[in-house]
Amino acid sequence: MSRYLVTGAAGFIARAVIQRLAAAGHTVVGVDNLNDSYDPRLKEWRLQQLASLPGFTFIKDDICRTGFFHELTTNQPAFDGVIHLAARAGVRQAVEMPDVYLQTNAAGTLNLLEWCRKGGSNKLVMASTSSIYGANPPLPTTEEADSCHPLQIYAASKKAAEVMAYTYHHLYDLDTTIVRFFTVYGPAGRPDMVMFRFTRWVTEGDEVLITGDGNQMRGFTYLEDIADGVIKALKPVGYEIINLGGHETITINDLLGRIETLVGKKANVQYIARHPADVDANWADVTKARQLLGWEPHVTLDAGIAQMVNWYLEQRVWARNIIIP
């Protein structure tokens, strides 16, 4: 069995990845600084699901901290691979705190790359984002689409991380797979994302805010499909950028309608002005993932939304109090 380092271990996607790795018998060391970028109760809940997993060790620390990776090398044997999921995520918050996003997503990634260069690991899987494709990408979007005109600092910081990773591959032969995620959703998801917001607002009878006219189109991708793709991306590839995205598209208005049906309540909707960082449509061409990784999404949108809603209803006692940014 193998040893893996997972950064951002208390994150939404990391929980599912770590559970799969542990179930396969691998040893996993997870690191997370448990910051307050969103309500930490969600991170605490995720960590509780991981605490009893065989072979899993959690380290509360910050990849941006000078000395962290030196201490990791001193205290831990070498790793067969690193899955880099640590990031400040969220399009709108990045506009308000650009320095924080650049520090974590770019400088933190540089620290990780230096650790890899010095022998920490020769396999890197790094999370990136479909936001990198900017305002009007061709649809469905392939990896060859323009990614040099991001609309906000979040995407710009992830582009910086991608470019640095390529440099380390070129200079030091670091085997690198960059996976660009398309609108991930599922149980215990981030509270700034539309799936969590709509489920919470409809269930609790709160006003539902929709930016723009609600006709924006998205290719939502279920959490477990993403986790499967991330793990398959651990195979040696040299350097590749690969889209991971769902196979069904839906408008924001239609999404709300499906959640209303599952919850059994009608929403009180207010349409508000669109944020300048929002895009009209976003979904992936996953031909490359299918060819290189043998990956494609399997969870239907209806099944995934039901899982999200059921999780919220089961955890409602505390989840109803989660702060929505």
Candidates 38, 101, 133, 154; catalytic one: 154
Burial of 81 from C-beta contacts in 10 A (0-12 / 13-18 / 19+): buried
- Euclidean distance between CA atoms 12 and 313, whole angstroms: 18
- Going by C-beta distance under 8 Å and a sequence separation of 6 or more, which residues neighbour residue 302? 258
| 270 sits in which H/E element | strand 268-272
Cβ pair 280, 217 in contact under 8 A: yes
Does the active-site annotation cover 185?
no
Angle, alpha carbons 122-123-124 (nearest 5°): 120
Convert 7-41 to b/e letters by CB count within 10 Å (16 or more is b).
Answer: bbbbbbbbbbbbbbbbeeebbbbbbbbeeebbbee
Q: Which residues are catalytic?
A: 154
